[in-house]
Structure 1
Protein backbone atom coordinates (compact mmCIF):
# COMPACT_ATOMS: atom_id res chain seq x y z
CA UNK A 1 0.00 0.00 0.00
CA UNK A 2 1.34 3.40 -0.99
CA UNK A 3 0.60 6.17 1.45
CA UNK A 4 0.46 9.70 0.09
CA UNK A 5 1.77 12.44 2.32
CA UNK A 6 0.94 16.12 1.94
CA UNK A 7 3.63 18.52 0.78
CA UNK A 8 3.30 20.52 4.00
CA UNK A 9 3.81 17.40 6.15
CA UNK A 10 6.93 16.46 4.19
CA UNK A 11 8.37 19.93 4.72
CA UNK A 12 7.47 19.86 8.42
CA UNK A 13 9.13 16.45 8.84
CA UNK A 14 12.31 17.60 7.09
CA UNK A 15 12.55 20.78 9.17
CA UNK A 16 11.90 18.78 12.32
CA UNK A 17 14.79 16.48 11.48
CA UNK A 18 17.09 19.35 10.53
CA UNK A 19 16.61 20.97 13.94
CA UNK A 20 18.85 18.16 15.11
CA UNK A 21 17.04 17.14 18.28
CA UNK A 22 15.60 13.90 16.90
CA UNK A 23 16.96 11.11 14.70
CA UNK A 24 15.30 9.73 11.59
CA UNK A 25 13.37 7.00 13.45
CA UNK A 26 12.12 9.42 16.13
CA UNK A 27 10.97 11.99 13.56
CA UNK A 28 9.22 9.25 11.57
CA UNK A 29 7.45 7.97 14.69
CA UNK A 30 6.48 11.49 15.79
CA UNK A 31 4.76 12.22 12.47
CA UNK A 32 3.35 8.74 11.81
CA UNK A 33 5.66 8.00 8.87
CA UNK A 34 6.07 4.26 8.35
CA UNK A 35 9.81 4.17 7.73
CA UNK A 36 12.84 6.22 8.61
CA UNK A 37 14.16 5.66 5.08
CA UNK A 38 11.21 7.71 3.77
CA UNK A 39 12.25 10.59 6.03
CA UNK A 40 15.86 10.18 4.90
CA UNK A 41 14.80 10.39 1.22
CA UNK A 42 12.80 13.56 1.88
CA UNK A 43 15.75 15.14 3.69
CA UNK A 44 18.13 14.36 0.82
CA UNK A 45 15.68 15.58 -1.83
CA UNK A 46 15.11 18.77 0.18
CA UNK A 47 18.86 19.36 0.48
CA UNK A 48 19.28 18.97 -3.29
CA UNK A 49 16.14 20.67 -4.65
CA UNK A 50 14.72 22.71 -1.75
CA UNK A 51 11.04 22.80 -0.85
CA UNK A 52 10.14 22.46 -4.57
CA UNK A 53 11.62 18.96 -4.56
CA UNK A 54 9.14 17.79 -1.94
CA UNK A 55 6.08 18.97 -3.83
CA UNK A 56 3.92 16.32 -5.42
CA UNK A 57 4.07 16.75 -9.18
CA UNK A 58 0.76 17.42 -10.93
CA UNK A 59 2.01 15.64 -14.05
CA UNK A 60 4.17 12.58 -14.45
CA UNK A 61 7.59 13.13 -15.89
CA UNK A 62 8.53 10.63 -18.57
CA UNK A 63 12.03 9.38 -19.26
CA UNK A 64 13.49 7.60 -22.25
CA UNK A 65 14.40 3.93 -22.10
CA UNK A 66 18.05 4.90 -22.58
CA UNK A 67 17.93 7.28 -19.62
CA UNK A 68 16.40 4.57 -17.40
CA UNK A 69 19.06 2.09 -18.51
CA UNK A 70 21.80 4.65 -17.78
CA UNK A 71 20.45 5.18 -14.27
CA UNK A 72 20.25 1.43 -13.61
CA UNK A 73 23.74 0.93 -15.01
CA UNK A 74 25.08 3.71 -12.81
CA UNK A 75 23.66 1.99 -9.72
CA UNK A 76 25.12 -1.37 -10.70
CA UNK A 77 28.58 -0.01 -11.54
CA UNK A 78 29.00 2.43 -8.65
CA UNK A 79 27.08 0.61 -5.94
CA UNK A 80 25.04 3.78 -5.35
CA UNK A 81 21.70 3.62 -3.61
CA UNK A 82 18.55 4.52 -5.50
CA UNK A 83 18.42 7.82 -3.62
CA UNK A 84 22.04 8.66 -4.47
CA UNK A 85 21.48 7.81 -8.13
CA UNK A 86 18.27 9.84 -8.24
CA UNK A 87 20.02 12.88 -6.83
CA UNK A 88 22.95 12.39 -9.22
CA UNK A 89 20.63 12.31 -12.22
CA UNK A 90 18.33 15.08 -10.97
CA UNK A 91 15.31 12.88 -10.21
CA UNK A 92 13.06 14.16 -7.43
CA UNK A 93 11.42 10.76 -6.83
CA UNK A 94 14.04 8.16 -5.89
CA UNK A 95 11.38 5.49 -5.43
CA UNK A 96 10.68 5.57 -9.18
CA UNK A 97 14.03 3.83 -9.74
CA UNK A 98 12.85 0.83 -7.71
CA UNK A 99 9.96 0.34 -10.13
CA UNK A 100 12.37 0.61 -13.09
CA UNK A 101 14.54 -2.10 -11.50
CA UNK A 102 11.57 -4.40 -11.01
CA UNK A 103 10.30 -3.91 -14.57
CA UNK A 104 13.78 -4.45 -16.00
CA UNK A 105 14.19 -7.69 -14.00
CA UNK A 106 10.80 -8.99 -15.08
CA UNK A 107 10.57 -7.79 -18.70
CA UNK A 108 13.97 -6.43 -19.72
CA UNK A 109 14.55 -3.22 -21.66
CA UNK A 110 11.28 -3.67 -23.57
CA UNK A 111 9.35 -3.35 -20.32
CA UNK A 112 10.95 0.03 -19.63
CA UNK A 113 9.45 1.31 -22.89
CA UNK A 114 5.89 0.86 -21.72
CA UNK A 115 3.87 3.78 -20.42
CA UNK A 116 2.61 3.23 -16.89
CA UNK A 117 -0.89 3.90 -15.73
CA UNK A 118 -4.30 3.67 -17.28
CA UNK A 119 -4.94 4.48 -20.88
CA UNK A 120 -7.26 7.41 -21.51
CA UNK A 121 -10.11 5.15 -22.66
CA UNK A 122 -12.60 4.46 -19.92
CA UNK A 123 -14.24 1.32 -21.28
CA UNK A 124 -12.17 -1.71 -20.29
CA UNK A 125 -13.72 -4.03 -22.86
CA UNK A 126 -12.88 -1.60 -25.68
CA UNK A 127 -9.27 -1.48 -24.53
CA UNK A 128 -9.04 -5.26 -24.41
CA UNK A 129 -10.66 -5.64 -27.81
CA UNK A 130 -8.42 -2.98 -29.38
CA UNK A 131 -5.34 -4.64 -27.91
CA UNK A 132 -6.35 -8.03 -29.34
CA UNK A 133 -6.98 -6.50 -32.77
CA UNK A 134 -3.64 -4.70 -32.70
CA UNK A 135 -1.81 -7.92 -31.79
CA UNK A 136 -3.48 -9.80 -34.65
CA UNK A 137 -2.83 -7.01 -37.13
CA UNK A 138 0.82 -6.69 -36.25
CA UNK A 139 2.72 -8.28 -39.09
CA UNK A 140 5.90 -10.24 -38.87
CA UNK A 141 7.69 -7.27 -40.38
CA UNK A 142 6.46 -4.99 -37.60
CA UNK A 143 7.55 -7.52 -35.00
CA UNK A 144 11.00 -7.72 -36.58
CA UNK A 145 11.28 -3.92 -36.70
CA UNK A 146 10.42 -3.74 -33.00
CA UNK A 147 12.90 -6.50 -32.16
CA UNK A 148 15.58 -4.79 -34.25
CA UNK A 149 14.96 -1.52 -32.43
CA UNK A 150 15.32 -3.24 -29.06
CA UNK A 151 18.52 -4.98 -30.16
CA UNK A 152 19.93 -1.67 -31.35
CA UNK A 153 19.11 -0.16 -27.95
CA UNK A 154 20.76 -3.08 -26.19
CA UNK A 155 23.95 -2.76 -28.30
CA UNK A 156 24.07 0.99 -27.62
CA UNK A 157 23.61 0.32 -23.91
CA UNK A 158 26.37 -2.31 -23.87
CA UNK A 159 28.76 0.05 -25.66
CA UNK A 160 28.09 2.76 -23.10
CA UNK A 161 28.50 0.26 -20.29
CA UNK A 162 31.85 -0.85 -21.69
CA UNK A 163 33.02 2.78 -22.03
CA UNK A 164 31.91 3.41 -18.46
CA UNK A 165 33.75 0.33 -17.17
CA UNK A 166 36.98 1.36 -18.90
CA UNK A 167 36.97 4.92 -17.50
CA UNK A 168 34.12 5.56 -15.01
CA UNK A 169 35.22 9.04 -13.92
CA UNK A 170 35.88 10.27 -17.45
CA UNK A 171 32.62 8.82 -18.75
CA UNK A 172 30.55 10.41 -15.99
CA UNK A 173 32.26 13.76 -16.46
CA UNK A 174 31.66 13.74 -20.24
CA UNK A 175 27.99 12.82 -19.86
CA UNK A 176 27.07 14.66 -16.66
CA UNK A 177 25.78 17.76 -18.45
CA UNK A 178 23.61 15.70 -20.80
CA UNK A 179 21.89 13.88 -17.94
CA UNK A 180 21.05 17.09 -16.13
CA UNK A 181 19.67 18.70 -19.29
CA UNK A 182 17.63 15.53 -20.06
CA UNK A 183 16.01 15.51 -16.63
CA UNK A 184 15.20 19.22 -16.85
CA UNK A 185 13.68 18.78 -20.32
CA UNK A 186 11.63 15.78 -19.18
CA UNK A 187 10.20 17.59 -16.16
CA UNK A 188 8.79 20.47 -18.25
Structure 2
Protein backbone atom coordinates (compact mmCIF):
# COMPACT_ATOMS: atom_id res chain seq x y z
CA UNK A 1 0.00 0.00 0.00
CA UNK A 2 2.82 2.39 0.85
CA UNK A 3 4.53 1.64 -2.48
CA UNK A 4 1.30 2.50 -4.28
CA UNK A 5 1.14 5.81 -2.41
CA UNK A 6 4.76 6.57 -3.30
CA UNK A 7 4.10 5.87 -6.99
CA UNK A 8 0.96 7.98 -6.94
CA UNK A 9 2.87 10.83 -5.28
CA UNK A 10 5.70 10.60 -7.82
CA UNK A 11 3.34 10.62 -10.80
CA UNK A 12 0.54 12.93 -9.64
CA UNK A 13 2.12 14.88 -6.81
CA UNK A 14 0.28 15.65 -3.60
CA UNK A 15 -3.06 15.43 -5.42
CA UNK A 16 -2.39 11.74 -6.10
CA UNK A 17 -2.43 10.78 -2.45
CA UNK A 18 -5.07 13.13 -1.13
CA UNK A 19 -8.23 11.49 0.08
CA UNK A 20 -11.25 12.62 -1.85
CA UNK A 21 -14.46 13.37 -0.03
CA UNK A 22 -16.54 12.74 -3.12
CA UNK A 23 -16.27 10.18 -5.89
CA UNK A 24 -15.27 11.57 -9.26
CA UNK A 25 -17.93 11.11 -11.91
CA UNK A 26 -16.49 10.46 -15.37
CA UNK A 27 -18.47 11.05 -18.54
CA UNK A 28 -19.35 8.22 -20.89
CA UNK A 29 -17.11 9.73 -23.57
CA UNK A 30 -14.16 9.88 -21.17
CA UNK A 31 -14.66 6.23 -20.26
CA UNK A 32 -14.84 5.17 -23.92
CA UNK A 33 -11.71 7.16 -24.74
CA UNK A 34 -9.84 5.65 -21.78
CA UNK A 35 -10.84 2.11 -22.79
CA UNK A 36 -9.87 2.72 -26.41
CA UNK A 37 -6.51 4.12 -25.30
CA UNK A 38 -5.87 1.03 -23.22
CA UNK A 39 -6.89 -1.35 -26.00
CA UNK A 40 -4.83 0.41 -28.67
CA UNK A 41 -1.73 1.15 -26.63
CA UNK A 42 0.60 -1.22 -24.87
CA UNK A 43 0.50 0.65 -21.58
CA UNK A 44 -0.51 -0.90 -18.28
CA UNK A 45 -3.65 0.08 -16.43
CA UNK A 46 -1.58 1.96 -13.87
CA UNK A 47 0.44 3.93 -16.44
CA UNK A 48 -2.64 4.89 -18.41
CA UNK A 49 -4.61 5.83 -15.29
CA UNK A 50 -1.82 8.12 -14.09
CA UNK A 51 -1.52 9.59 -17.58
CA UNK A 52 -5.24 10.40 -17.53
CA UNK A 53 -4.99 11.87 -14.02
CA UNK A 54 -6.88 9.06 -12.33
CA UNK A 55 -5.56 7.81 -9.01
CA UNK A 56 -7.65 4.62 -9.13
CA UNK A 57 -6.27 2.19 -11.76
CA UNK A 58 -8.67 -0.64 -10.76
CA UNK A 59 -11.50 1.59 -11.98
CA UNK A 60 -9.97 1.58 -15.46
CA UNK A 61 -9.65 -2.21 -15.20
CA UNK A 62 -13.38 -2.47 -14.45
CA UNK A 63 -14.24 -0.22 -17.39
CA UNK A 64 -12.22 -2.38 -19.78
CA UNK A 65 -13.80 -5.55 -18.39
CA UNK A 66 -17.32 -4.13 -18.75
CA UNK A 67 -16.53 -2.92 -22.27
CA UNK A 68 -15.35 -6.38 -23.28
CA UNK A 69 -18.56 -7.93 -21.91
CA UNK A 70 -21.17 -5.42 -23.07
CA UNK A 71 -19.51 -3.29 -25.72
CA UNK A 72 -20.41 0.40 -25.93
CA UNK A 73 -23.56 -0.19 -23.89
CA UNK A 74 -21.43 -0.88 -20.81
CA UNK A 75 -21.42 2.79 -19.92
CA UNK A 76 -25.08 3.63 -20.39
CA UNK A 77 -26.26 5.39 -17.26
CA UNK A 78 -29.47 3.44 -16.75
CA UNK A 79 -30.18 3.25 -13.06
CA UNK A 80 -32.98 1.86 -10.97
CA UNK A 81 -34.90 -1.35 -11.14
CA UNK A 82 -35.75 -2.81 -14.53
CA UNK A 83 -39.34 -2.44 -15.64
CA UNK A 84 -41.75 -5.29 -15.22
CA UNK A 85 -43.20 -6.99 -18.28
CA UNK A 86 -46.65 -5.60 -17.47
CA UNK A 87 -45.25 -2.04 -17.49
CA UNK A 88 -43.51 -2.68 -20.79
CA UNK A 89 -46.74 -4.11 -22.20
CA UNK A 90 -48.68 -1.02 -21.10
CA UNK A 91 -46.11 1.25 -22.71
CA UNK A 92 -46.20 -0.69 -25.98
CA UNK A 93 -50.03 -0.62 -25.96
CA UNK A 94 -49.99 3.16 -25.46
CA UNK A 95 -47.53 3.55 -28.34
CA UNK A 96 -49.66 1.30 -30.53
CA UNK A 97 -52.77 3.36 -29.68
CA UNK A 98 -50.89 6.55 -30.56
CA UNK A 99 -49.87 5.07 -33.91
CA UNK A 100 -53.46 3.93 -34.59
CA UNK A 101 -54.71 7.38 -33.58
CA UNK A 102 -52.28 9.05 -35.94
CA UNK A 103 -53.22 6.61 -38.70
CA UNK A 104 -56.94 7.29 -38.17
CA UNK A 105 -56.32 11.03 -38.28
CA UNK A 106 -54.31 10.67 -41.49
CA UNK A 107 -57.04 8.49 -43.00
CA UNK A 108 -59.72 11.07 -42.09
CA UNK A 109 -57.61 13.85 -43.63
CA UNK A 110 -57.09 11.86 -46.82
CA UNK A 111 -60.82 11.04 -47.07
CA UNK A 112 -61.62 14.72 -46.66
CA UNK A 113 -59.10 15.65 -49.37
CA UNK A 114 -60.56 12.96 -51.63
CA UNK A 115 -64.07 14.32 -51.11
CA UNK A 116 -62.88 17.86 -51.90
CA UNK A 117 -61.19 16.68 -55.09
CA UNK A 118 -64.32 14.78 -56.21
CA UNK A 119 -66.41 17.91 -55.66
CA UNK A 120 -63.91 19.91 -57.73
CA UNK A 121 -64.05 17.41 -60.57
CA UNK A 122 -67.88 17.37 -60.52
CA UNK A 123 -67.95 21.17 -60.52
CA UNK A 124 -65.55 21.36 -63.48
CA UNK A 125 -67.68 18.89 -65.49
**TM-score normalized by the length of structure 2:** 0.58
Q: 1:58 aligns with which of 21, 30, 51?
A: 21
**TM-score normalized by the length of structure 1:** 0.41
RMSD after superposition: 2.6
Measured in 2, the distance between the counterparts of 1:47 and 1:107 equals 35
Q: 1:107 aligns with which of 70, 74, 81?
A: 70
Measured in 1, the distance between the counterparts of 2:63 and 2:91 equals 27
Measured in 1, the distance between the counterparts of 2:84 and 2:48 equals 40
Shift of 1:73: 1.4
Shift of 1:101: 1.0
Q: Which runs of 4+ in 1 moved over 4 A?
A: none
How many positions carry a matched residue from both structures? 90
Does the 8 A contact of 1:65 with 1:109 survive in 2?
no
Unaligned runs of 5+ in 2: 93-125
> Which of structures 1 and 2 has the bigger CA Rg?
2
Measured in 1, the distance between the counterparts of 2:40 and 2:68 equals 17
- 2:33 maps to which residue? 70
Shift of 1:97: 0.2
Measured in 2, the distance between the counterparts of 1:138 and 1:56 equals 45
Does the 8 A contact of 1:103 with 1:111 survive in 2?
yes
Q: 1:88 aligns with which of 46, 51, 58?
A: 51
The 5 A counterparts of 1:21-60 are 39=3, 41-60=4-23
Higher-RCO chain (CA-CA 8 Å, sequence separation at least 6): 1
